[in-house]
Amino acid sequence: MRLRELAEKLGREVRGDGDVTLSGVAPLETAGPGDLSFVRSLAWSKKLGQTRAAAVVAPALIETGGLPVLVSPNPGLDFARSVALLLPATRPAAGVHPSAFVASDASVDPSASVGPLCSVGDGVRIGARSVLHAGVHVYPGARVGDDCTLHSGSVIGEGTEIGDRVSLQPGVVLGGDGFGYAFDEQGRLEKVPQVGRVVVEDDVEIGAGTTVDRATLGETRIRAGAKIDNLVMIAHNCDVGESAVIIAQAGLAGSTTVGRRAILMAQSGAAGHLAVGDGAFVSARAGLHKDVAPGARVFGAPAMEERRWHRVIAAMARLPEALRRLRAVEKKLGIRTTPEANEGR
């Protein structure tokens, strides 16, 4: 595709030779003739003098030394859209692979693709143009909407409902039992039946190895446009809001509610029955023990408001010096109150 054609599709302007031909994409360091790359800011522009890229996506104020530019107010986003246009995803042919099992009362749209060694249970519905890659298992009563992509090894539990344009990366499990037990009269653990379901709304993407447990009663729901990274654990009866983002290795205990456009960073965790408000930000490794207000930014474990957390971290850096001064005062006063002074007593 010529740079000018790409710019027209994106509604952007070209600076320089718009007739240069683009056949691929690459980082500035490794790009060659025919590759499109991008620059977000002046900090990146230092590499422009050494790149062999055919053209770049860049902000208007970046000087590229004559290199053709697709001028963009948001280079990262326009580059992502360019990748989709230059390297469109391929999909397998429609139809059911001979090694797949499809129950007699299941409904698979003729335009859908069911790959090798898949199993599609009783009463399942697979929508138009959806793709089940090799080894996907869809349990009885589940629904998969239109234009979905379920990658290898995904498991869709009984009664799970998946909307349109949902993408599940390899190894996602939707609708496994929630972790619920009660002690019986002899003090032994007895399983609490998990009879609810999982609902995933439209335009959701869920990363590899992530699990979303079925509800004990009612629903565990992932709302439209939410993006969930790899190795995330979402427990029974959670509700993840529209366009929320949950990053790798985060975990939500049962009945946690995550608001619209909230962001939970890597390895953060929430105790059960908590609410994270709309637009809130939870830092990496934060531990939530109480609700987070809409728009709040919390850090640390236990989680605290951002500015307070910064003060706490700054104070911790000063603790060794404060302890040294305390020991000096104790010595001057002839008192012994530090833990080290009391060792052996």
Question: Would you name the residues annotated as active-site residues?
Answer: 236
b/e per residue 106-123 (b: at least 16 CB within 10 A): bebeeebbbbeebbbbeb
Burial of 178 (0-12, 13-18, 19+ CB in 10 A): buried
How far apart, in Å, do the first and last CA atoms of the chain sit? 81
Q: Which two tokens stand for residue 112?
A: 């859908």
β-partners of residue 315 are: none
Q: d(Cα 197, Cα 185) in Å, to the nearest integer?
A: 29
Residue 71's H or E segment, with its range, is strand 69-71
CB 119 within 8 A of CB 101: yes
Instruction: Provide the 3-class DSSP secondary structure of residue 161.
Output: strand
Instruction: Provide the 3-class DSSP secondary structure of residue 5.
Output: helix
- Give the ranges where the chain is alpha helix by DSSP (H): 3-10, 42-45, 75-86, 306-333
**What is the bridge-based pairing of β-strands 304-305 and 297-299?**
antiparallel
Sign of CA dihedral 32, 33, 34, 35: positive
Q: d(Cα 111, Cα 94) in Å, to the nearest integer?
A: 5
Instruction: Provide the 3-class DSSP secondary structure of residue 48.
Output: helix
Instruction: Provide the 3-class DSSP secondary structure of residue 108.
Output: strand
β-partners of residue 138 are: 120, 156
- Cβ neighbour number for residue 27 with a 10 Å cutoff: 12
Using the structure block, give the residue that is written with the tokens 């995803």.
89
